[in-house]
Structures are given as structure tokens and as C-alpha cells.
């Protein structure tokens, strides 16, 4: 009788632990999906912003080209879900957007254009949402990584091949403020 109780407790522990680990794993996937949706929305909005700016900024083609290239790089990294490439591409895109918004300050007609104002506001809002989702993603990844390494959960994680997830990280260089004036002197 005691043997059956012990076996039942062990089986119950494994079932509860397994279900908990599955839930945590799916939270990581959900967190990534939330980031992916926002990155896609931003990627869809950027061409509209660029087209609006082109009409006013004919001699700022290099700035617009940098935004276009950075957008394509970020989209490619998003599609492959390579966290290291995504972090680098996102830093480049944020820098080029900062340059674009800084250049826009020199164009009063553009700054007054309601379409530009709406798109700038929308992209800024998406950037803030992406930052929030990155934090949630990294928290989910941390929970996953801690749980699969903690004893006795690591036994269940090992038996069922629960994997370590990669956090979205940025290098010190990518986190530095962008010197907008220096970017326009290039």
C-alpha cells in the first residue's frame, strides 16, 4: 500500500512538473509571437512613412535608403528568428529611424503633414510596444531557462528534451545613444 502511494506521488509530481514546463515553454513561444506581430506591423508601416518623406526629402535619399536597408535586414532576421541577428538589425533600424526623424525636423511642411505625423506617432507607439514585449519575452525565457535547470525539474526537462531559449540581448555598442549629427556628416 505504501509503495503504491509513493509511486502515485512520484507520477503526480512528474505530471505536474511536465505540465508546468510545457506551459512555460508555450509562454516563451507566445511572447515571441507577440513580438513578431509588432515587428511585422512596424515593417508594414515603414514603407508608408518612407513614401511620405520622399515627396519632401528629395535630396535626403541616403537617409531614406538607410531606413529601407535596415527595415529589410530587420525583417529578414525576424523571419529566421535568429535572436542575435535580430538584436543587431533592430539596433540598426532604430538608429536609422532616429536619423530620419531628425532630418524631418528640417522640413516644416513634412512636420506639418498629418499623414507623416500619424505614421511617426504609430511607429513610435509600435517601438514602445516592442520594447515592452521584449521585456516580457526575456522574462519568459528566463523562467524557462531557470526551471529546466532547477533540481528536481531538470530531471523531467531532460527526459522530455525541454530546451534552453535565447534571450534578446544587445551589445553595449548597440545600446549607446546615436550621434545624429555625426550620422549626417557621413
Percent of the chain with pLDDT over 90: 28
pLDDT of 69 above 90: no
**CB of 178 closer than 8 Å to CB of 99:** yes
**Number of folded domains that form the chain:** 1
Q: What is the CATH number of the domain that holds 148?
A: 1.20.1440.20
Give the model's pLDDT for residue 185.
Answer: 44
At 119, list the grid cell: 505614421
Mean pLDDT of 7-35: 92
Grade residue 139 by pLDDT with cuts at 50, 70 and 90.
very high
Nearest in space to 130 (alpha carbons), one of 22, 5, 41:
41
Range of the structural domain that residue 82 is part of? 2-185
Coil, helix or strand at residue 106? coil
Residue with cell 506639418: 112
Give the model's pLDDT for residue 16.
Answer: 93
Amino acid at each position: 500500500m505504501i509503495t503504491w502511494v509513493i509511486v502515485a506521488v512520484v507520477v503526480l509530481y512528474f505530471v505536474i512538473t511536465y505540465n508546468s514546463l510545457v506551459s512555460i515553454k508555450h509562454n516563451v513561444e507566445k511572447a515571441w509571437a507577440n513580438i513578431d506581430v509588432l515587428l511585422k506591423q512596424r515593417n508594414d508601416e515603414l514603407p508608408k512613412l518612407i513614401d511620405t518623406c520622399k515627396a519632401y526629402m528629395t535630396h535626403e535619399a541616403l537617409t531614406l535608403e538607410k531606413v529601407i536597408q535596415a527595415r529589410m535586414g530587420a525583417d529578414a532576421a525576424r523571419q529566421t528568428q535568429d535572436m542575435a541577428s535580430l538584436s543587431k538589425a533592430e539596433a540598426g533600424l532604430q538608429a536609422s529611424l532616429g536619423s530620419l526623424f531628425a532630418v524631418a525636423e528640417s522640413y516644416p511642411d513634412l512636420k506639418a503633414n498629418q499623414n507623416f505625423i500619424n505614421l511617426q506617432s504609430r511607429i513610435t507607439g509600435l517601438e514602445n510596444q516592442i520594447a515592452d514585449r521584449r521585456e516580457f519575452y526575456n522574462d519568459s525565457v528566463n523562467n524557462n531557462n531557470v526551471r529546466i535547470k532547477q533540481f528536481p525539474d531538470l530531471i523531467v526537462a531532460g527526459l522530455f528534451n525541454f530546451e534552453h531559449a535565447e534571450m534578446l540581448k544587445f551589445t553595449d555598442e548597440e545600446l549607446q545613444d546615436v550621434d545624429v549629427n555625426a550620422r549626417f556628416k557621413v
